[in-house]
Amino acid sequence: MTTTPAESSAPAFGVPAHQPNGRLPGALRRRLHPDPTVRRLAGITLVNTVGNGLSLAVAVLFFTRVLGLSAAQLGFGMTAAGLCGVAASVPAGRAADRWGARRVLVVLVSIEAVGTAGYALVHGYAAFVALACAVSAVDRGAAAVRNALYAQVLPADRRVAGRAYLRVVTNIGICLGTGLGAIALQFDTRPVYLAAILADAVSYVAVALLMYRLPAEAGAGPGASAPVAASASGGAGVGQSVGQGRRRNPALRDGPFLVVTALCSVLGLQFAVLEVGVPLWIVQQTDAPRITVAGAFIVNTLMVIALQVRATRGTEERTAAARACRRAGLVLAASCLVIAMAHGLPGILAAAVALVGIGLQSLAEVMGQAGGWALSYDLAGEHEHGAYQGVFNAGSAAAMMAGPAVVSTAVIGYGVAGWAVLGAALLAAGLAMGPAVRWAGRREARLRAA
């Protein structure tokens, strides 16, 4: 997938004067995406992530103070839920190929709304674990289907840029939701916690309704019903998609794609570095002020919002995407070493060094995400995005589940040496991406020649 020079240099947030949005205030107009489908997806994403941010802010206290769970019980329940999320991604992706991503996504999000509201009715640990597993399975399945939906409703040469824009919106939504959650935390009462959880459930209902009205394929109107989008070169219809849905999962038989998925999952440990490794390191192993932890999240959020769209430019072509992943691995390794250097320094200097490391980590994050998205789409069959996104998302879910334990063991158990080993693993994953992508090219050439 390649872009023309005009497309690659167009302002990501600009809106042409002939668009209806030209009547909006200038500051808002400059931030709206020129593609109406991306704008609709952005609105849906904002609703979803504000609800998620609100729920995330209060979840731990809700589960422990309202439901009465111990830390150990909560940890076990979340681990079991994570396993269910990994397992659900692949079948959810296959369902998207067979019945259409939009249709499947509306069903999954609707179920998630019911499941989230169900937390208000839980009164026993067994019921909590069962519900948490069900909600996690639906949530991870919905994530896989959502990524397949982007392939169906966005042109092939603009999918990665569209996802980058939506990721910026995601960060904004999470920030807004977390701010609302902070207000709920100040009240610290059962009714307020319940209201926050139910508000998240309501946001899923709104998302399901908005998704139902989303065009089913690129360029379609709200009433379109075709479950599979045409490819950029002229795609298959419903019959072909259904037929493919009955075959064995092609992504599970695609060796290069499985390797790319595994490498992206290793690079995905960067999220556990930010969310678990850095806070533990700053608080337990450095003299930096505790507020540095909050500063790390602020730096990361602002850099992702500012750089994610720009980082996707040129990554639509697979070799460029592989280079982006390689650079991400290099910068992640450097960030691990810089963060480790904060140990033993005076407080303010330790904070400054840690924040520099977070800046490097954030830069690597936007590059790695851009490269991973591009490869997950480019290496997939045009009418099998559900299957491929299901497998790719399962890898991401596995990294999310295992990452906290891996990172905390490395940085707290082994200190500076642990940071060095973690950085080496991230570097190796980035460097291995190029050979994996070249292997994929050779495999495709053999299949075409057969």
Tell me, yes or no, whether 200 and 119 share the same domain.
yes
163 and 271 part of one domain: no
Domain count, the chain: 2
Tens of pLDDT, residues 146-155:
999 998 888 8
Where in the sequence is the domain holding 116, given as residue range(s)? Answer: 33-219
Tell me: do 361 and 429 sit in the same domain. Answer: yes
One domain for residues 162 and 257 = no
Dist CA 114 CA 130 (whole Å) = 14
Q: For 242, how many CA atoms within 13 A lie in the half-sphere containing its CB?
A: 6
Asked if 101 contacts 145 with a C-beta cutoff of 8 angstroms, the reply is yes
Out of 32-36, 79-83, 94-98, 379-383, pick the least confident. 32-36
Q: What CA–CA distance (Å, rounded) separates 74 from 57?
A: 15
pLDDT at 23: 52
Task: Looking at the structure, tell me whether residues 257 and 212 fall in a common domain.
Answer: no
CB of 192 within 8 A of CB of 184? yes
The CB density around residue 222, as the number of other CB atoms within 10 Å, is 10
* pLDDT tens digits, 275-331: 999 999 999 999 999 899 989 999 999 999 999 999 998 888 899 999 999 999 999
The two tokens of residue 222 are 């709200």
> Residue for token digits 């941010």?
53
- Stretch (H or E) spanning 380: none
Range in 109-113, 161-165, 253-257, 312-316 with the lowest mean pLDDT? 312-316
Average pLDDT over every residue of 222-251: 45
- If pLDDT is split at 50, 70 and 90, which confidence band does 244 have? very low
pLDDT at 243: 42
On whether the CB atoms of residues 90 and 394 are closer than 8 A, the answer is yes
pLDDT band of 71, cuts 50, 70, 90: confident
Determine, yes or no, domain membership for 12.
Answer: no
Q: Give pTM, 2 decimals.
A: 0.83
**Residue 160 CA neighbour count, 13 Å, CB half:** 32
Q: How far apart are CA 308 and CA 394, in angstroms?
A: 23
Backbone angle region of 188, left / alpha / beta, with phi > 0 → left and psi within -120 to 50 → alpha: left
So what's the pLDDT on residue 345? Answer: 94
Same domain, 327 and 267: yes
pLDDT the model gives residue 60:
87
**CATH code assigned at 299:** 1.20.1250.20
> Quick check: is 131 in a domain?
yes
User: Which of 168, 201, 219 is where one domain is finished?
Assistant: 219
Same domain, 356 and 210: no
213 confidence band (pLDDT: 50, 70, 90): confident
> Does some domain include residue 167?
yes
- How confident is the model over 388-420, as pLDDT tens digits? 999 999 999 999 999 999 998 998 889 999 999
